[in-house]
Structure 1
């Protein structure tokens, strides 16, 4: 069970990290003023809004910007990455989340719980999640290929640091699983 949770956590972190490439302020791009790097929250995330990416994506971007820290993406790279996000997620993802939430809500408020319907809906959600993870992996690969060799090195370093942090947190969680030696 814990292995499945760990896999889910890792997959989610990978998936969410792709959203960070929306990190460009449209106003700054138009005036040729570049943010120092993609972790300057106001400059990088101000173009992310419910109208262009969905509130869920905005939240994910704000949490997962660390992998792109220090990359100093060019305006062209940021635009290419924003375009990839919009092509892959702009229309589909927010509607998918909404539809699945609505279907689950109907199950919750029904007069009688129907386990078969709940299982069918859970399978729909799981299948959609698999498709989303595949799409995110594809886009992550495309993002990575847009980076210069120097940026790839920084990205990989950031990934290594993140994995160390995750391992530390998992180790902290596991120490509470062990019985107290008394």
Structure 2
């Protein structure tokens, strides 16, 4: 249950940052610098890919439409979860119901965002797709390294003091 809560809260926060990052996509575009304008706040899906002006315009159009199609994050749902977490007594069934409701809303948002990203990906040339694939492999390697650094097996084990006889 604790892992589910942590995952949903993390996913919600990630979703908030992803949507915020996606909203930047329709802003002003710097030539060859899509990295700071599209995708989530950590890494842009199109980071390092040189886009034509026509491709950038098509992506802006897709994001403009996505703004209308993607369900908004409900601040009231987050407030309700916060109220449950900070209550005098812990109501596990209520928390579970709220977390599941938020998770379902997040799934819907993530599917819509994936659909838009797929449409954007299909605007790329084969060369751009190859560059994107290489960048993706680099990010996966970085992520794997970060995950292995955070795992308990890589953490220093406490030194056990010797017992005196």
Q: TM-score range with shorter-chain normalisation? A: 0.5 to 0.7
Which among 63, 66, 90 is matched to residue 42 of structure 2?
63
5+ residue gaps, structure 1, are 27-33, 46-59
* CA spacing shift, 1:145–1:68, aligned 2, 3 Å: same
5+ residue gaps, structure 2, are 161-165
Which among 86, 90, 95 is matched to residue 64 of structure 2?
86
After TM superposition, list the pairs within 5 Å mapping 1:91-170 onto structure 2.
92-93=70-71, 95-108=72-85, 110=87, 112-170=89-147
1:76 Cα deviation after fit:
2.3
Give per-residue Cα distances to partners, 1:18-46, cap 9 Å, x unaligned.
839817516xxxxxxx613324x5xx47x
Task: State the match for 1:36 in structure 2.
Answer: 32
1:129 Cα deviation after fit:
1.5
Q: Mark the structure with the bigger radius of gyration.
A: 2
Q: Going by fraction, where is helix more abundant, 1 or 2?
A: 1
* CA spacing shift, 1:20–1:177, aligned 2, 3 Å: farther
TM-score of the two chains, using structure 2 as the length reference:
0.67
2: CA distance between counterparts of 1:139 and 1:147? 13
2: CA distance between counterparts of 1:105 and 1:168? 33
Q: Over the residues paired in the alignment, what is the CA RMSD in angstroms?
A: 3.7
